[in-house]
């Protein structure tokens, strides 16, 4: 299994994987307007879509998006946003999510980002455990309401500065 940039011809499949994963976990209603947002993340966007792949099989995905002025959770150009971490239901429990999280952290640091932030639904308990085990901490002051009845929880991770050789400064 390796993590790489999603290929243009995979983007529809990646979008379907996100939606299928959210539906399987009952985090999304099939008629939700967010379905199309999930399908389209990374298309024509400044974000970088990564996939965990085993041969031609896409097992999971995550998007790294640099700060944008319309972001609900990032505050400056030194921050990046982790979006739509999703692991196919049949691939869960194999370390795919952790591998994707490591890759997005490394990409953010290499791009000069100093802080990673993300939002998660309160029901995403397994994802929250993963984030916390990887050093992300709650940022309750950045929680935000999508619509009445759904407030997303914010998490953040400070990134170690990189040495010129590309490794972290210790």
Q: What is the CATH number of the domain that holds 129?
A: 3.40.630.30
Question: What three-state secondary structure class fits 166?
Answer: coil
The answer to whether residue 164 is domain-embedded is no
Please state whether beta strands 79-87 and 115-120 pair in parallel, antiparallel, or not at all (unpaired): parallel
The answer to whether residue 13 is domain-embedded is yes
For residues 112 and 46, the model is more confident at: 112
The answer to whether residue 138 is domain-embedded is yes
Query: Which residue intervals of the chain are DSSP H helices?
Result: 11-24, 34-40, 96-110, 125-133
Q: What single string gives the DSSP state of each residue in 33-76?
A: THHHHHHHTTSSSS-EEEEEEETTEEEEEEEEEE--TT-SS--S
- pTM listed for this prediction: 0.89
Across 89-96, average pLDDT? 94
Range with the lowest mean pLDDT among 39-53, 101-115, 125-139?
39-53
First CA to last CA distance, the chain: 29
The answer to whether residue 7 is domain-embedded is yes
Which band of pLDDT confidence, cut at 50, 70 and 90, is reported for residue 37? confident
Q: How far apart are CA 139 and CA 82, in angstroms?
A: 14
pLDDT exceeds 70 at position 156:
yes
The pLDDT of residue 32: 85
The answer to whether residue 111 is domain-embedded is yes
Report the number of distinct structural domains present in the chain. 1
The pLDDT of residue 36: 87
The answer to whether residue 170 is domain-embedded is no
The answer to whether residue 136 is domain-embedded is yes
The answer to whether residue 22 is domain-embedded is yes
The pLDDT of residue 104: 97
State the residue range of the domain holding 19.
2-158
């Amino acid at each position: 299994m390796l993590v790489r940039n999603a290929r243009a011809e995979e983007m529809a499949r990646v979008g379907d994987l996100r939606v299928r994963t959210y539906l399987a976990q009952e985090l999304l209603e099939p008629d939700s307007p967010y379905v199309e947002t999930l399908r389209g993340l990374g298309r024509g966007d400044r974000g970088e879509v990564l996939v965990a792949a085993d041969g031609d099989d896409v097992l999971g995905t995550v998007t790294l998006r640099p700060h944008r002025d319309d972001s609900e959770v990032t505050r400056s150009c030194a921050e990046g946003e982790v979006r739509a971490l999703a692991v196919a239901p049949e691939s869960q429990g194999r370390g795919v999510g952790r591998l994707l999280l490591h890759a997005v952290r490394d990409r953010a640091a290499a791009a000069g980002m100093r802080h990673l932030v993300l939002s998660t639904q309160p029901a995403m308990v397994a994802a929250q455990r993963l984030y916390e085990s990887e050093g992300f901490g709650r940022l309750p002051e950045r929680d935000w309401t999508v619509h009445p009845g759904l407030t997303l929880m914010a998490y953040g991770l400070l990134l170690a500065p990189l040495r010129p050789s590309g490794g972290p400064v210790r």
